[in-house]
Amino acid sequence: MTGKKDLLAVLDFYLVTDSGLSKKGTLSDVQEAVAAGCRIVQYREKNKSTKEMVAEASQIKSICGADAIFLVNDRIDVALAVDADGVHIGQEDMPIDIARAILGADKIIGLTVHNISEAIEAERSGADYVGLSPIFDTATKSDAGTGIGTERIKDVKNAINIPVVAIGGINKQNCRSVIENGADSLVAISAVVCSDDVKRETQELIAVIKSASGRI
Ligand code: 3NM
């Protein structure tokens, strides 16, 4: 097991990059979030060439260093090219058993799920954590669908033994209820990368998450 898998148990805020929404650019966002104490970064890039992605992923990997898990969204080839810590995949991406066979046992694989049955299946097929989505309505992902609400988080958390990361429409105002309803960690893309001060926003989110989870 990679040392970084241990970090999955103590995640607070989870950064997902979005170069389309970012005010200061992906690398700056990662730098500021990691400096603020973020311990997991997912490079999610839909608008760049593979060559550009490999170069940027390599830089993000160095920023994450030993302190933060570095995952690549969807692109197993890019993750392998830079020896990332793992990938985050969706229900329509590479089947998880094949992703595991390609990446090996040490790498981290996160899977997006929308309900209890997908979460149970994700754990059974070897996911290291699930991303539960969307908690609230969001404009960041056009096909995300309607928010499932915070109550559903408890149901999913109680059904599985791997960490639950909440995503979709989360911000500083509603993040406390997300954690109080059982999420181990949460993603807030627009709330963070659209802010003027990514570091401060991340610090403030981490403070609320730690307080809500009793991890202070
Ligand atoms: N995936 P924001 S929602 C990347 O529902 C992503 O699977 C989602 O962005 C899903 O924090 C989403 O700005 C975007 O709402 C979340």
Give the DSSP letter of residue 10: G
Q: The pTM is what?
A: 0.97
CA of 211 from ligand 1 middle (Å) equals 24
User: What pLDDT is recorded for position 216?
Assistant: 66
- Digit-coded pLDDT (tens) for 141-156: 999 999 999 999 999 9
Alpha-carbon distance of 22 to 81, in angstroms, equals 25
Q: How many CA atoms lie within 13 A of 176 on its CB side?
A: 8
CA of 108 from ligand 1 middle (Å) equals 20
Residues in contact with ligand 1 (CB, 6 Å cut-off):
16, 112, 133-134, 138, 140-141, 144, 167-170, 187-190
pLDDT along the chain (216 residues), means of 10: 81 97 98 98 97 98 96 98 98 96 97 98 98 98 95 97 98 97 97 98 97 85
Run of H or E residues at 131: strand 129-132
Candidate of 137, 187, 192 to mutate for ligand 1, largest count of ligand atoms within 8 Å of Cβ: 187
- Digit-coded pLDDT (tens) for 92-126: 999 999 999 999 999 999 999 999 999 999 999 99
Task: State the amino acid at position 76 in one-letter form.
Answer: I
Tokens representing 212 are 């809500």
